[in-house]
Amino acid sequence: MDPLDVLTNIDKVIPYYQAIFSADEQRIIGYEVLGRIKLNHEIKSLGEFFQDENIPDEYRIEVDDSILHNAIDEFLELKESHLHLFINRDANLLMMDHGESFLNILLDKQEKGLKLNQIVLEITEHNFRGDIEQLYHLLLYYRTYGIKVAIDNIGKASSNLDRIGLLSPDILKIDLQPLRLSSPSQSYYDVLYSISLLARKIGATLLYEDIEVNFQLQYAWKNGGRYYQGFYLNKPQREFAEIDDCKDMLKYEFQTYISSEKKKLENLYLFTEAFNNRVQQVLHKIGKQFIDYEDLLQQLSKQLDDCSFRIYICDEDGFQQSVNIFKQNNWQIQPQYYLNNWSWRPYFLANIMRMRFDQKGFLSDVYSDIETGELIRTFSFPLNQKHYLFIDLSYDYLYEEEGLL
């Protein structure tokens, strides 16, 4: 689109609205404002216009402000004080006058009935080129008025988690478009997991966007998403969608997810119990008929050859009390791991305490093995009051077992 077509037809610039849905109520909790222009009876997106840095800043701000005025006026007609209006702003443009013009528009609309705690300001952190400290102080100032802050497009481009943590947003918008790829990399899932941990630490709500198919919605539901947005639920439209527009569909989908997850957890519990019994029986069979821990591991490897690829023993402080026995075609001894310490691993000591008090084994979450790069689980089992057995289960084995991957 020729930018001149926009600049000479600002009166034809209009706001469109895409609904944002809540997991807890399965209702719309707000609408994101999107810029559109109507030219020759055709509606066109203004996304490229706003992202084109060759267009003078003041022109982009003028068009943005026009959309904002119209959107707030139409939003006020809803007379729904519990709904939110999500407003996109380029942080670089926002900081040109230290955010004053944007705030003045909101304060002017406040006199007409707008509650500033209904406004959610969306910015994209990785596009900001200025002083992050100044942006932080501006957002902090906005919050004194009740304005909420959302960081947009997380997951679509490189984002600095330190900067996001500093800005301490109320909402993190995670883009799920990469999930549509035929095979997203494991690192993508790891990044999303890191973002979910960050959200929990800073008290931010997760909003998953670009949900276009059912499995993306399921992923969002399963991975801590409170809010959802995307074509699968609602496409941008000129009018505000009805609050209960997808309530029945969401309730049905969530019930399906819940049933599936409960079944998976049940299978996981039953597998853990069965594997715990198996390890107990193997150890009982071996009894005290071993010379040392290396001999014990060799005997265990014969009994667990179908499922494991690495076995070792640690004490309660994480110091390895045995060699590794590792399967790569054949079982091999890896003496270099003796006395290595693994207490630095997340949850290691917590898991030791769990085994000490429960006096039974348990199965870890799925994670990527550092050495092989494959997705695995580890079964941990208390050998005695001081030493603990660790059995790494292979990807191939987990793949064959229902619900373990």
- The residues, ordered by sequence, that sit 6+ positions from 81 with a Cβ below 8 Å of its Cβ are 115, 118
- The mean pLDDT of 263-272, rounded to a whole number, is 94
- Please check whether residue 249 lies inside any domain of the structure: no
- The total of structural domains in the chain comes to 2
114 in a structural domain: yes
Half-sphere exposure of 28 (CA within 13 A, CB side): 22
What pLDDT, on a 0 to 100 scale, did the predictor assign at position 150? 97
At 356 the pLDDT is 93
One domain for residues 33 and 176: yes
Q: Is pLDDT at 158 greater than 60 in this prediction?
A: no
Rounded Cα gap, residues 275 and 257, in angstroms: 27
User: Could you tell me if 107 and 219 lie in one domain?
Assistant: yes
Residues paired with residue 313 on neighbouring β-strands, in sequence order: 389
Q: Look at residue 243 and tell me if it is in a domain.
A: no
Q: What are phi and psi of 298, to 5 degrees?
A: -65, -40
pLDDT higher than 70, residue 131 = yes
The HSE-up count of residue 322 (CA atoms within 13 Å, CB side) is 24
Range of the domain at 11: 3-234
264 & 206 share domain: no
Residue 265 has pLDDT above 80, yes or no: yes
Domain presence at residue 255: no
Q: Check whether residue 101 and residue 165 sit in a common domain.
A: yes
**Is residue 279 located within the same domain as residue 183?**
no
* pTM of structure: 0.87
Note whether 204 and 172 are within 8 A (CB): yes
**CATH code where residue 10 lies:** 3.20.20.450
Per-residue model confidence as pLDDT tens digits over 306-335: 999 999 999 999 999 999 999 988 999 999
**Cα 257 from Cα 253, distance rounded (Å):** 6
Most distant CA pair in the chain, distance: 89
- Same domain for 46 and 153, yes or no, is yes
Share of the chain above pLDDT 70, in %: 98
277 and 206 in a common domain: no
Per-residue three-class SS string for the chain: CCHHHHHCCHHHEEEEEEEEEECCCCCEEEEEEEEEEEECCEEEECHHHHHCCCCCHHHHHHHHHHHHHHHHHHHHCCCCCCCEEEEECCHHHHHHHCCHHHHHHHHHHHCCCCCHHHEEEEECHHHCCCCHHHHHHHHHHHHCCCCEEEEEEECCECCCHHHHHHHCCCEEEEECHHHHCCCCCHHHHHHHHHHHHHHHHHCCEEEEECCCCHHHHHHHHHCCEEEECCCCCCCCECCCCCCCCCHHHHHHHHHHHHHHHHHHHHHHHHHHHHHHHHHHHHHHHHCCCCCCHHHHHHHHHHHCCCCEEEEEEEECCCEECCCEEEEECEEEEEHHHCCCECCCCCCHHHHHHHHHHHCCCEECCCEECCCCCCEEEEEEEECCCCEEEEEEECHHHHHHCCCCC
